Amino acid sequence: MRTQVAIIGGGPSGLLLSQLLMRAGIDTVVLERQSRDYVLARIRAGVLEQGCVDLLRKAGVGARMDREGHSHDGTNLSTAHGMFRVNFKERCGQSVMVYGQTEVTQDLYQAQDALGARIVHQVANVELHDVTGDHPFVTYDKDGQTHRIDCDYIAGCDGFHGVSRPTIPDTVRQDFERVYPFGWLGVLSRTAPAAEELVYANHPRGFALASMRNAHLSRYYIQVPLSDRVEQWSDQAFWDELRRRLPAEVADPMETGPAIEKSIAPLRSFVSEPMQWGRLFLVGDAAHIVPPTGAKGLNLAASDVHYLHEALRAAVLDGDRAALGQYGPRALTRVWAAMRFSWWMTTLMHRFPDQTEFDQKIQEAELHQLEWMVSAQETMARNYVGLPY
């Protein structure tokens, strides 16, 4: 098999890159380890930055998002002393879109099908070869046979545990990481959202978040120790603890119901540099992981796709190979800005194991400053809705 760009990973970043490249006339093949049904069953975040929204529209997959998504002009932050709202529209003139990652992926699959995209599912033993040479290729196993794809470029969109990042030698690659000493216990329920916009709660018992997927599907999180297991948390225990941490005006009328999905996710900040090695380019979680507090995971992957799509178009269509060398530096500038914001939100809103009452008072003082200081709200709003590409 021959293609111009081999894309490893068929999640939203791989599909979005393929969609943009194919619309520009650049041929792609996407390899995905899981089945399509498995990919579409993944439950992920659903807060989209303005830049991500614009990019999806550019890719021709924004129609359903515009019909069914929910534009949020602000967000709520709560402390033990009350709740306040940061108005994004007033502070920076933009909003975010609440639209589930599963829906984004479904839209991308449908658009790729319409273009006749080559997406190969349930592949195994993927290996990248000669990525620093002029003739890179990819091998993989499927249905008991080994297959080969010859290509000009390889995009590693295969996540934190994929094969793309380890292909870059340890002597070349440098990883930066901070692992947080807690996780998020998340519940998805077929219930009406507790509030019209997201509620982030700083509480002495720990962090909590009330979010939503749509008018009838809600997503809630509470901070828990990494030693906790899902089996320890009954639905009733979860709802009781969530109510303790949310402000009364949100908690008291909140609709509850059986959990249709429940999981515990660890939190980490991670960046791998460089994001390019020869003709291999890392995209999204293959290169960086952010704690979900700032809602940057999918959005950072989208900005990577934007930069890489531009670089590959310049190289393939215009013969400008120099543009490829700008991909990593451009992407990393935005990655580190989002990393700082996610770290700040995580540090501000969570209760750390060794945290003293002094530390708690400092958090509350910073939140109080955020409540009344316009410049602080402007900084948060600009980062939350997404810095420009």
The question of whether 361 is a catalytic residue gets the answer no
Q: Please pick, among 99, 109, 327, 384, the residue that the annotation labels catalytic.
A: 384
Question: Contact 197/75 with Cβ under 8 angstroms?
Answer: yes
In the residue annotation, 99 being an active-site residue is answered as no
Question: Of residues 153, 203, 292, 350, which has the active-site annotation?
Answer: 292
- For 8, the 3-state DSSP assignment is strand
Contacts of 311 (CB under 8 A, 6+ apart): 281, 323, 324, 326, 327
Is 296 annotated in the active site?
A: yes
Separation CA 302–CA 288 (nearest Å): 12
DSSP string, 17-32: HHHHHHHTT--EEEE-
Is 72 considered catalytic here? yes
Those residues whose C-beta lies under 8 Å from the C-beta of residue 210, and which sit 6 or more positions away, are 193, 194, 195, 198, 199, 201, 218, 220, 242, 246, 250, 254
384 is catalytic: yes
State the chain's maximal CA–CA distance in angstroms: 63
- Say which of 200, 220, 221, 307 is annotated catalytic: 200
Residues 6+ apart with CB under 8 A from 257: 189, 190, 191
Say which of 12, 109, 180, 296 is annotated catalytic.
296
Annotated catalytic residues are 72, 200, 292, 296, 384
